[in-house]
Structure 1
Amino acid sequence: MITVLRKHRQRLLALFAAVALTITAAGTATGQAKPAGVGPGLYTTVGIAGSVYRSDYGKLTFFAPTIYIDANIHRYVGIEAEARFLRYGGKNGVTQDTYLIGPKYSFKPEGWVPYVKMPVGLGRMKFPYDLATGNYFVLAPGGGLEYWTHNDNIHIRVVDVEYQMWPQFTFGTLHPYGVSAGVSFRIW
Protein backbone atom coordinates (compact mmCIF):
# COMPACT_ATOMS: atom_id res chain seq x y z
CA MET A 1 0.00 0.00 0.00
CA ILE A 2 2.79 2.43 0.89
CA THR A 3 4.53 1.68 -2.43
CA VAL A 4 1.33 2.48 -4.34
CA LEU A 5 0.96 5.81 -2.49
CA ARG A 6 4.57 6.75 -3.23
CA LYS A 7 3.98 6.04 -6.93
CA HIS A 8 0.96 8.39 -6.95
CA ARG A 9 2.96 11.20 -5.33
CA GLN A 10 5.75 10.81 -7.89
CA ARG A 11 3.26 10.83 -10.76
CA LEU A 12 1.59 14.00 -9.50
CA LEU A 13 4.91 15.81 -9.06
CA ALA A 14 5.89 14.62 -12.55
CA LEU A 15 2.57 16.01 -13.87
CA PHE A 16 3.30 19.42 -12.28
CA ALA A 17 6.74 19.48 -13.88
CA ALA A 18 5.41 18.33 -17.27
CA VAL A 19 2.69 20.99 -17.38
CA ALA A 20 5.12 23.78 -16.45
CA LEU A 21 7.70 22.54 -18.96
CA THR A 22 5.10 22.20 -21.74
CA ILE A 23 3.77 25.71 -21.23
CA THR A 24 7.27 27.16 -20.97
CA ALA A 25 8.45 25.31 -24.09
CA ALA A 26 5.42 26.48 -26.07
CA GLY A 27 6.87 30.00 -26.13
CA THR A 28 9.72 28.87 -28.39
CA ALA A 29 7.28 27.47 -30.97
CA THR A 30 6.09 30.88 -32.19
CA GLY A 31 7.47 32.09 -35.50
CA GLN A 32 6.61 35.78 -35.41
CA ALA A 33 7.77 38.67 -33.27
CA LYS A 34 5.30 40.34 -30.92
CA PRO A 35 3.93 43.72 -31.96
CA ALA A 36 5.63 46.66 -30.20
CA GLY A 37 2.43 47.57 -28.28
CA VAL A 38 2.00 44.18 -26.60
CA GLY A 39 3.59 43.33 -23.25
CA PRO A 40 5.38 40.13 -22.42
CA GLY A 41 3.68 36.93 -23.37
CA LEU A 42 4.62 33.61 -21.88
CA TYR A 43 6.65 33.58 -18.69
CA THR A 44 7.21 31.27 -15.73
CA THR A 45 7.94 32.02 -12.08
CA VAL A 46 8.96 29.67 -9.28
CA GLY A 47 8.21 30.60 -5.69
CA ILE A 48 8.28 29.60 -2.06
CA ALA A 49 5.87 30.66 0.66
CA GLY A 50 5.04 30.12 4.27
CA SER A 51 1.47 29.01 5.06
CA VAL A 52 -0.84 28.87 8.07
CA TYR A 53 -3.87 26.59 7.73
CA ARG A 54 -6.77 25.66 10.00
CA SER A 55 -8.29 22.19 9.60
CA ASP A 56 -11.70 20.87 10.65
CA TYR A 57 -10.06 17.57 11.51
CA GLY A 58 -9.15 17.90 15.19
CA LYS A 59 -9.41 21.72 14.97
CA LEU A 60 -5.69 21.79 14.23
CA THR A 61 -3.62 24.76 13.06
CA PHE A 62 -0.78 23.81 10.73
CA PHE A 63 2.29 25.78 9.65
CA ALA A 64 3.75 24.76 6.34
CA PRO A 65 6.23 25.47 3.58
CA THR A 66 4.70 25.81 0.12
CA ILE A 67 6.33 25.71 -3.29
CA TYR A 68 4.58 26.95 -6.40
CA ILE A 69 5.10 27.44 -10.11
CA ASP A 70 3.17 29.96 -12.20
CA ALA A 71 3.30 29.25 -15.92
CA ASN A 72 1.64 32.21 -17.63
CA ILE A 73 0.38 32.00 -21.19
CA HIS A 74 -0.38 35.72 -21.15
CA ARG A 75 0.14 38.44 -18.56
CA TYR A 76 -3.36 37.84 -17.18
CA VAL A 77 -3.92 34.10 -17.69
CA GLY A 78 -1.86 31.20 -16.43
CA ILE A 79 -1.68 27.91 -14.62
CA GLU A 80 -0.45 27.54 -11.06
CA ALA A 81 0.88 24.33 -9.55
CA GLU A 82 1.50 24.18 -5.82
CA ALA A 83 2.65 21.69 -3.23
CA ARG A 84 1.89 22.45 0.41
CA PHE A 85 3.27 20.34 3.25
CA LEU A 86 1.02 20.83 6.32
CA ARG A 87 3.18 18.97 8.82
CA TYR A 88 3.98 21.40 11.62
CA GLY A 89 1.50 22.07 14.42
CA GLY A 90 -0.49 18.86 14.09
CA LYS A 91 -0.98 16.53 17.04
CA ASN A 92 -0.20 12.82 17.32
CA GLY A 93 1.40 12.70 13.87
CA VAL A 94 -1.53 14.17 11.87
CA THR A 95 -0.44 15.78 8.57
CA GLN A 96 -2.27 17.15 5.53
CA ASP A 97 -0.33 17.65 2.30
CA THR A 98 -1.81 18.98 -0.94
CA TYR A 99 -0.60 18.80 -4.53
CA LEU A 100 -2.75 21.11 -6.66
CA ILE A 101 -2.85 22.57 -10.17
CA GLY A 102 -5.30 24.86 -11.93
CA PRO A 103 -6.05 28.11 -13.74
CA LYS A 104 -5.05 31.51 -12.38
CA TYR A 105 -6.30 34.91 -13.58
CA SER A 106 -4.54 38.19 -12.72
CA PHE A 107 -6.52 41.45 -12.92
CA LYS A 108 -3.63 43.84 -13.69
CA PRO A 109 -0.42 43.57 -15.73
CA GLU A 110 1.98 45.23 -13.23
CA GLY A 111 2.45 46.77 -9.79
CA TRP A 112 -0.13 45.58 -7.24
CA VAL A 113 -1.74 42.58 -8.91
CA PRO A 114 -4.90 40.96 -7.47
CA TYR A 115 -5.66 37.45 -8.74
CA VAL A 116 -8.06 34.51 -8.42
CA LYS A 117 -7.32 30.82 -8.89
CA MET A 118 -9.08 27.45 -8.91
CA PRO A 119 -6.62 24.61 -8.36
CA VAL A 120 -7.67 20.99 -7.95
CA GLY A 121 -5.68 17.89 -7.14
CA LEU A 122 -4.63 15.47 -4.46
CA GLY A 123 -4.85 15.83 -0.69
CA ARG A 124 -2.95 13.36 1.43
CA MET A 125 -3.97 12.87 5.06
CA LYS A 126 -1.92 11.01 7.63
CA PHE A 127 -4.11 10.03 10.56
CA PRO A 128 -3.11 10.01 14.27
CA TYR A 129 -0.56 7.52 15.54
CA ASP A 130 0.19 6.32 11.97
CA LEU A 131 -3.07 4.33 11.96
CA ALA A 132 -3.79 5.11 8.31
CA THR A 133 -3.02 7.33 5.35
CA GLY A 134 -5.59 8.42 2.78
CA ASN A 135 -5.55 10.19 -0.58
CA TYR A 136 -8.46 12.46 -1.46
CA PHE A 137 -9.65 14.73 -4.27
CA VAL A 138 -9.31 18.44 -3.35
CA LEU A 139 -10.88 21.64 -4.73
CA ALA A 140 -9.24 24.86 -3.53
CA PRO A 141 -10.72 28.14 -4.78
CA GLY A 142 -8.70 31.14 -3.72
CA GLY A 143 -7.17 34.46 -4.54
CA GLY A 144 -4.65 36.96 -3.38
CA LEU A 145 -2.47 39.96 -4.01
CA GLU A 146 1.04 40.10 -5.44
CA TYR A 147 3.41 42.99 -5.95
CA TRP A 148 5.44 42.78 -9.15
CA THR A 149 8.69 44.70 -8.82
CA HIS A 150 9.70 47.25 -11.46
CA ASN A 151 12.09 44.90 -13.21
CA ASP A 152 9.29 42.25 -13.27
CA ASN A 153 11.68 39.45 -12.24
CA ILE A 154 10.52 39.26 -8.62
CA HIS A 155 6.91 38.82 -7.55
CA ILE A 156 6.15 39.30 -3.86
CA ARG A 157 3.10 37.29 -2.81
CA VAL A 158 1.67 39.60 -0.15
CA VAL A 159 -1.28 37.33 0.65
CA ASP A 160 -2.78 34.18 -0.84
CA VAL A 161 -6.03 32.81 0.60
CA GLU A 162 -7.49 29.34 -0.06
CA TYR A 163 -10.63 27.57 1.08
CA GLN A 164 -10.14 23.87 0.41
CA MET A 165 -12.86 21.25 0.00
CA TRP A 166 -12.10 17.55 0.41
CA PRO A 167 -15.53 16.15 -0.64
CA GLN A 168 -14.57 12.46 -0.46
CA PHE A 169 -12.91 12.61 2.97
CA THR A 170 -13.53 9.49 5.07
CA PHE A 171 -15.49 11.26 7.84
CA GLY A 172 -17.46 13.75 5.70
CA THR A 173 -16.29 16.75 3.70
CA LEU A 174 -13.21 18.44 5.13
CA HIS A 175 -12.79 22.24 4.76
CA PRO A 176 -9.25 23.40 5.60
CA TYR A 177 -8.58 27.10 4.96
CA GLY A 178 -5.53 29.25 5.23
CA VAL A 179 -3.24 32.05 4.13
CA SER A 180 0.22 32.15 2.61
CA ALA A 181 2.85 34.77 1.83
CA GLY A 182 6.05 34.41 -0.14
CA VAL A 183 8.17 35.39 -3.09
CA SER A 184 8.67 34.06 -6.63
CA PHE A 185 11.37 34.61 -9.23
CA ARG A 186 10.94 34.74 -12.96
CA ILE A 187 12.88 31.94 -14.65
CA TRP A 188 11.70 32.48 -18.24
Structure 2
Amino acid sequence: MERKSISPVLSSVLLRCLATLALLCALAGSSQARAQVAESAVGGNQKISAGVLGSAFENNYGNRRLAGFSAFIDVDLNRHYGIEGEGSWLHWHQRDKVYIDTYLAGPRYQFNYIGRFRPYAKFLIGDGKFNFPYNYGYGNYFDMAPGAGVDFRLTPRIDWRMADFEYQIWPGFTFGTLHNYGISSGIRVRLF
Protein backbone atom coordinates (compact mmCIF):
# COMPACT_ATOMS: atom_id res chain seq x y z
CA MET A 1 0.00 0.00 0.00
CA GLU A 2 1.40 3.30 -1.04
CA ARG A 3 1.02 6.55 0.94
CA LYS A 4 -0.12 9.58 -0.92
CA SER A 5 1.26 12.96 0.12
CA ILE A 6 -0.63 16.22 0.08
CA SER A 7 0.39 18.46 -2.75
CA PRO A 8 2.32 21.59 -1.84
CA VAL A 9 -0.47 23.82 -3.18
CA LEU A 10 -3.11 22.05 -1.04
CA SER A 11 -0.91 22.21 2.08
CA SER A 12 -0.34 25.94 1.53
CA VAL A 13 -4.11 26.54 1.23
CA LEU A 14 -4.79 24.41 4.33
CA LEU A 15 -2.13 26.31 6.30
CA ARG A 16 -3.65 29.66 5.27
CA CYS A 17 -7.14 28.48 6.28
CA LEU A 18 -5.87 27.39 9.71
CA ALA A 19 -4.03 30.68 10.18
CA THR A 20 -7.15 32.66 9.19
CA LEU A 21 -9.32 30.58 11.55
CA ALA A 22 -6.88 31.17 14.42
CA LEU A 23 -6.87 34.92 13.70
CA LEU A 24 -10.69 35.04 13.64
CA CYS A 25 -10.83 33.16 16.97
CA ALA A 26 -8.33 35.58 18.50
CA LEU A 27 -10.31 38.60 17.28
CA ALA A 28 -13.60 37.15 18.52
CA GLY A 29 -12.10 36.50 21.97
CA SER A 30 -10.56 39.97 22.22
CA SER A 31 -13.96 41.59 22.78
CA GLN A 32 -14.15 39.68 26.07
CA ALA A 33 -10.59 40.66 27.09
CA ARG A 34 -11.49 44.33 27.64
CA ALA A 35 -13.36 43.36 30.84
CA GLN A 36 -10.01 42.59 32.46
CA VAL A 37 -9.13 46.28 32.81
CA ALA A 38 -12.11 47.09 35.02
CA GLU A 39 -11.44 48.41 38.49
CA SER A 40 -11.15 45.84 41.23
CA ALA A 41 -14.18 45.44 43.51
CA VAL A 42 -12.08 45.45 46.68
CA GLY A 43 -8.85 47.19 45.76
CA GLY A 44 -7.90 50.71 44.81
CA ASN A 45 -9.56 53.95 45.87
CA GLN A 46 -7.42 54.34 48.99
CA LYS A 47 -7.87 57.87 50.32
CA ILE A 48 -6.94 59.81 53.43
CA SER A 49 -9.19 62.64 54.59
CA ALA A 50 -9.23 64.89 57.63
CA GLY A 51 -11.77 67.26 59.06
CA VAL A 52 -13.08 69.34 61.93
CA LEU A 53 -16.56 69.33 63.41
CA GLY A 54 -18.61 71.38 65.82
CA SER A 55 -20.20 69.02 68.35
CA ALA A 56 -23.11 69.11 70.80
CA PHE A 57 -23.62 66.23 73.28
CA GLU A 58 -25.86 65.33 76.15
CA ASN A 59 -24.88 62.89 78.89
CA ASN A 60 -26.86 61.26 81.66
CA TYR A 61 -24.52 62.37 84.46
CA GLY A 62 -26.77 65.14 85.76
CA ASN A 63 -28.40 65.56 82.33
CA ARG A 64 -25.66 67.88 81.18
CA ARG A 65 -25.37 69.40 77.73
CA LEU A 66 -21.86 70.06 76.47
CA ALA A 67 -20.52 71.53 73.24
CA GLY A 68 -17.10 71.63 71.69
CA PHE A 69 -15.24 70.51 68.62
CA SER A 70 -13.94 67.28 67.14
CA ALA A 71 -11.17 66.46 64.70
CA PHE A 72 -11.02 63.25 62.69
CA ILE A 73 -8.99 61.32 60.13
CA ASP A 74 -10.63 58.89 57.71
CA VAL A 75 -8.58 56.26 55.90
CA ASP A 76 -10.68 54.79 53.08
CA LEU A 77 -9.34 51.36 52.16
CA ASN A 78 -11.72 51.02 49.18
CA ARG A 79 -15.11 52.36 48.07
CA HIS A 80 -16.96 51.08 51.13
CA TYR A 81 -14.62 50.12 53.99
CA GLY A 82 -12.41 52.41 56.01
CA ILE A 83 -11.03 53.32 59.41
CA GLU A 84 -11.83 56.46 61.37
CA GLY A 85 -9.89 58.07 64.20
CA GLU A 86 -11.53 60.86 66.15
CA GLY A 87 -10.81 63.18 69.06
CA SER A 88 -13.51 65.26 70.75
CA TRP A 89 -13.12 68.04 73.28
CA LEU A 90 -16.44 69.04 74.85
CA HIS A 91 -15.53 72.01 77.06
CA TRP A 92 -18.21 74.63 76.27
CA HIS A 93 -21.40 75.15 78.22
CA GLN A 94 -19.85 73.54 81.28
CA ARG A 95 -21.82 73.38 84.45
CA ASP A 96 -19.79 72.85 87.63
CA LYS A 97 -16.62 72.46 85.53
CA VAL A 98 -17.70 69.08 84.08
CA TYR A 99 -16.23 68.34 80.67
CA ILE A 100 -15.52 65.31 78.47
CA ASP A 101 -12.66 64.43 76.10
CA THR A 102 -12.74 61.30 73.92
CA TYR A 103 -10.14 59.59 71.69
CA LEU A 104 -11.75 56.90 69.55
CA ALA A 105 -10.97 54.77 66.50
CA GLY A 106 -12.65 51.96 64.58
CA PRO A 107 -14.17 50.68 61.34
CA ARG A 108 -16.44 52.73 59.10
CA TYR A 109 -18.66 51.56 56.24
CA GLN A 110 -19.68 53.98 53.47
CA PHE A 111 -22.78 53.29 51.43
CA ASN A 112 -23.10 54.17 47.72
CA TYR A 113 -23.70 57.78 46.72
CA ILE A 114 -27.29 58.93 46.47
CA GLY A 115 -26.80 61.92 44.23
CA ARG A 116 -24.22 64.00 46.14
CA PHE A 117 -25.07 62.42 49.50
CA ARG A 118 -23.05 59.56 50.98
CA PRO A 119 -24.32 57.91 54.18
CA TYR A 120 -22.02 55.90 56.44
CA ALA A 121 -22.04 53.86 59.63
CA LYS A 122 -19.22 53.42 62.15
CA PHE A 123 -18.30 51.70 65.40
CA LEU A 124 -15.54 53.40 67.39
CA ILE A 125 -13.86 52.36 70.63
CA GLY A 126 -11.28 54.07 72.79
CA ASP A 127 -10.68 56.28 75.81
CA GLY A 128 -13.04 58.78 77.40
CA LYS A 129 -11.85 61.31 79.97
CA PHE A 130 -14.48 62.65 82.36
CA ASN A 131 -13.75 65.66 84.58
CA PHE A 132 -15.92 65.50 87.72
CA PRO A 133 -17.70 68.55 89.22
CA TYR A 134 -15.57 71.35 90.63
CA ASN A 135 -12.37 69.61 89.47
CA TYR A 136 -12.61 67.09 92.34
CA GLY A 137 -11.14 64.46 90.07
CA TYR A 138 -11.18 62.90 86.65
CA GLY A 139 -11.22 59.41 85.25
CA ASN A 140 -10.29 57.64 82.04
CA TYR A 141 -12.86 55.09 80.92
CA PHE A 142 -13.38 52.62 78.10
CA ASP A 143 -15.80 54.10 75.56
CA MET A 144 -17.81 52.42 72.77
CA ALA A 145 -19.49 54.64 70.19
CA PRO A 146 -21.70 53.29 67.41
CA GLY A 147 -22.69 56.02 65.01
CA ALA A 148 -23.88 57.05 61.58
CA GLY A 149 -23.89 60.11 59.40
CA VAL A 150 -24.04 61.58 55.95
CA ASP A 151 -21.52 63.53 53.86
CA PHE A 152 -22.50 65.94 51.08
CA ARG A 153 -20.00 66.34 48.24
CA LEU A 154 -19.17 70.00 47.61
CA THR A 155 -16.16 69.46 45.32
CA PRO A 156 -14.15 66.35 44.39
CA ARG A 157 -11.88 67.02 47.41
CA ILE A 158 -14.22 68.67 49.95
CA ASP A 159 -17.29 67.22 51.67
CA TRP A 160 -19.66 68.81 54.12
CA ARG A 161 -20.22 66.33 56.95
CA MET A 162 -23.85 67.35 57.37
CA ALA A 163 -24.57 65.17 60.38
CA ASP A 164 -22.48 62.75 62.40
CA PHE A 165 -24.47 61.06 65.16
CA GLU A 166 -22.81 59.07 67.98
CA TYR A 167 -24.21 57.14 70.90
CA GLN A 168 -21.40 56.64 73.43
CA ILE A 169 -21.50 53.89 76.04
CA TRP A 170 -19.06 54.04 78.96
CA PRO A 171 -19.64 50.64 80.67
CA GLY A 172 -17.03 51.04 83.44
CA PHE A 173 -17.98 54.54 84.58
CA THR A 174 -17.63 55.09 88.35
CA PHE A 175 -21.36 55.60 89.05
CA GLY A 176 -22.77 53.04 86.61
CA THR A 177 -22.81 52.98 82.82
CA LEU A 178 -22.65 56.48 81.33
CA HIS A 179 -24.55 57.19 78.10
CA ASN A 180 -23.68 60.18 75.94
CA TYR A 181 -25.27 61.01 72.63
CA GLY A 182 -24.66 63.86 70.29
CA ILE A 183 -24.49 65.27 66.83
CA SER A 184 -21.65 66.98 64.97
CA SER A 185 -21.28 68.84 61.69
CA GLY A 186 -18.28 70.20 59.81
CA ILE A 187 -15.92 69.89 56.85
CA ARG A 188 -14.01 66.89 55.49
CA VAL A 189 -11.05 67.45 53.13
CA ARG A 190 -9.37 64.71 51.09
CA LEU A 191 -5.59 64.93 51.60
CA PHE A 192 -4.41 62.04 49.38
Q: TM-score, normalised by structure 1?
A: 0.78
Structure 1 position 154 matched with structure 2 position 158: yes
Structure 1 position 120 matched with structure 2 position 130: no
Distance 1:35 1:129, change over 3 A: farther
* SS state at 1:70 partner: strand
Counterpart of 2:71 in structure 1 is 67
The unaligned stretches of length 5 or more in structure 1 are 1-33
Structure 1 position 47 matched with structure 2 position 51: yes
Counterpart of 2:148 in structure 1 is 143
Structure 2 CA distance for aligned equivalents of residues 37 and 111 of structure 1: 22
Structure 2 CA distance for aligned equivalents of residues 152 and 163 of structure 1: 30
Structure 1 position 111 matched with structure 2 position 116: yes
Task: After TM superposition, give the deviation of residue 152 of structure 1 in Å.
Answer: 2.0
Letter of the 1:154 counterpart: I
Task: After TM superposition, give the deviation of residue 92 of structure 1 in Å.
Answer: 1.4
Letter of the 1:116 counterpart: A
Counterpart of 1:173 in structure 2 is 177
Task: After TM superposition, give the deviation of residue 38 of structure 1 in Å.
Answer: 5.5
Larger radius of gyration: 2
Letter of the 1:65 counterpart: F
Letter of the 1:135 counterpart: N
Aligned residue-pair number: 154
Task: After TM superposition, give the deviation of residue 89 of structure 1 in Å.
Answer: 1.1
Identity of counterpart residues, as a percentage? 38
Task: After TM superposition, give the deviation of residue 129 of structure 1 in Å.
Answer: 1.1
Task: After TM superposition, give the deviation of residue 141 of structure 1 in Å.
Answer: 0.2
Cα RMSD after superposing both structures = 1.7
Structure 1 CA distance for aligned equivalents of residues 73 and 39 of structure 2: 27
Letter of the 1:119 counterpart: L
Letter of the 1:85 counterpart: W
Question: If each structure's strand is expressed as a fraction of its own residues, which one has the higher value?
Answer: 2
